[in-house]
Structures are given as C-alpha cells and as structure tokens.
Chains A and B, each alone.
Chain A
C-alpha cells in the first residue's frame, strides 16, 4: 500500500497550483500581519524591511521552506518594536497556551 499523497488529502488549503499554507498556524500568522497592517500598526514598507532583515539573517542557503517561521519572527519583531506587546508578555502568553493544551482533555476546546 502506498502512502497517501498529502496534496490529495481533504481540507489542506490549496489553490490551482498547490497548497497555499502548509499548516494552519502559517495562515494565522499571514492573516495577523495583514490585519495589523490594515489597522495602521505599521506601514507595509516597514513590514518589508523587517522581513528582509529576518531573511537576510537566515543566510544564503535558506530554501524558502521556513518562510513562515521568518514571517512569524518578523511579526513578533514589529509587535514588540511598536510596543503593541512586550516580549515578556508574548512569552508568558505562549506558556499559558502550552499549559492550557496540556490540561485540556482530547477533543475539548482549548481555552486559557
């Protein structure tokens, strides 16, 4: 029996040319950046410059597979630089979600 082709599995987001987001968090991170931009939290040129710094730091061998990791890091950079949230606040919230996942029974909605 051959392994299922992930591209043919249902509910994986894709368009005519293939998957759009590989994992749900990537779509959320993408949408967050657009929404914060739409709210006037930063200019799109600021976004491009910040993302460019992250991509440059990733080095010449970066093959694009970790693109949304850089995207998310850029988002955190800008959110902290613009003082929309502090770094410590983000870290604490991340731990709170991790705890919530650990204590929530399988199949139940995860809540803080």
Chain B
C-alpha cells in the first residue's frame, strides 16, 4: 500500500498536480485541528443561543462557517434536530460521506458495509446495538448523506443541566450523539 501511494504521489508531484507541502498541511489539519469537538461546539451554541439555533436550522453551512468550520468539497450541511418524538440517524449508504469539518474523519463502523446497509433497513435495531433503547412512540428518521449534502444531528439538550456554559455543554456532546447512534 505504502509503495502504491508513494508511486502515485511522486507522479502527481512531477506533473505539477500536487504540492508536497499542501499534502502535509492537509494531513496536519485532519490530525490536529478537526474532530468531533468542532461539532460539539456547534451543538452547544445551538443549545445556548436560540438565534444561532434558528440560523443553524435555516442554513447550517453558513451557521457552522460562523464558528470557523468550513467544508472543502462543495457540500452543504443540513442539521436535523432530535426531539422527544423524533430521533435522527445519519448514514451514507453509497460510500462514506461524512461532515469532516465538524466531526473529523468517520469511525470504522460508519464505513462498514453492515452499518451502511442496515441503518436504512433496520435503524431501530442498529441504534439498539449501540445500547440505545428508543421508546416505540419515538419516530426514527434516517438521513442518507451524499457528496452534496452532509447531515449533523442536533441532539436534545440533556435535562437538568441549566446554567452550564457553552464549554461545559460542549463537553456533554459526543460524536455518536451527532451521528444519531447515541442519545445524550
């Protein structure tokens, strides 16, 4: 694998299509600067600031960019909100489209064939395997990400946590909560 990558990279550099320094910058960015903490900050701000939440639900791409997290693949972000009666689950059935700027790179299970197929066929069962028992009256909505649209789940704000700062709220938000395989 390493040799195949090296072959590809050296040819692309020679042909002037790729700048080695830019490659290093991309790797550094994904290793150190993006990750689910970005998404957690978006969620915490939406919980604390109703005006921000309204902008987020109206135009997630712009609202997320307000916090400095911008996409790179021309994709649009859509935020779907969990409520006492609706639970949202995100998948990419075709490949593994994922909101990198807010969640970093996807976990292995998100990229697996069983998750990609079963999340659509049996979302309740899949969520159950993550240890979440959804009450029967809660409707499950599944969102299939594409190269153009990436989804982020806005979890319900945990009850009894009034008076917390945005940073404290952000610490409560998990990656799986923003994919929909966890409830907070």
Residues of A within 8 A of B (CB): 13-18, 20-21, 23-25, 27-32, 34-39, 41, 44-45, 47-49, 51-52, 55, 58-65, 67-69, 72, 75-76, 79, 84-85, 89-91, 93-94, 96-98, 101, 112
Contacts and interface: CB of A to CB of B under 8 A. Distances in A.
Given A48-B146, A97-B10, A28 B5 contact: yes
Contacts of A60: 113-114, 117
A15 B104 contact: yes
B12 A28 contact: no
Given A36-B17, A41-B17, A94-B3, A75 B107 contact: no
Interface in B12-42: 12, 15, 17-19, 22-24, 26-27, 30-32, 34-37
A64 B23 contact: no
Contacts of B107: 17-18
Contacts of A49: 94, 147
B74 interface: yes
Contact of B110 (A21, A29, A32, A64): A64
A69 B2 CA distance: 10
B12 A84 contact: yes
B35 A44 contact: no
Contacts, number: 168
Interface residues of B, number: 53
A30 B22 CA distance: 12
B8 A16 contact: no
Interface string B101-129: 00011011111111111000000000000
Nearest to B104: A15
B76 to A, nearest CB: 12
10 contacts: A15-B31, A15-B34, A21-B105, A29-B5, A44-B73, A44-B74, A44-B75, A45-B147, A72-B4, A93-B7
B113 A23 contact: no
Interface of B is mostly: helix
B95 interface: yes
Contacts of A96: 7
B94 A32 contact: no
Given A30-B27, A32-B5, A67-B108, A61 B94 contact: no
Contacts of A35: 12, 17-19, 22-23, 26
Contacts of A37: 73
B72 A20 contact: no
Given A55-B116, A72-B5, A93-B8, 19 more contacts: A14-B31, A18-B107, A24-B2, A28-B6, A28-B9, A30-B27, A32-B5, A35-B19, A44-B75, A45-B147, A47-B147, A48-B95, A59-B113, A63-B114, A64-B111, A72-B8, A79-B12, A94-B3, A98-B3
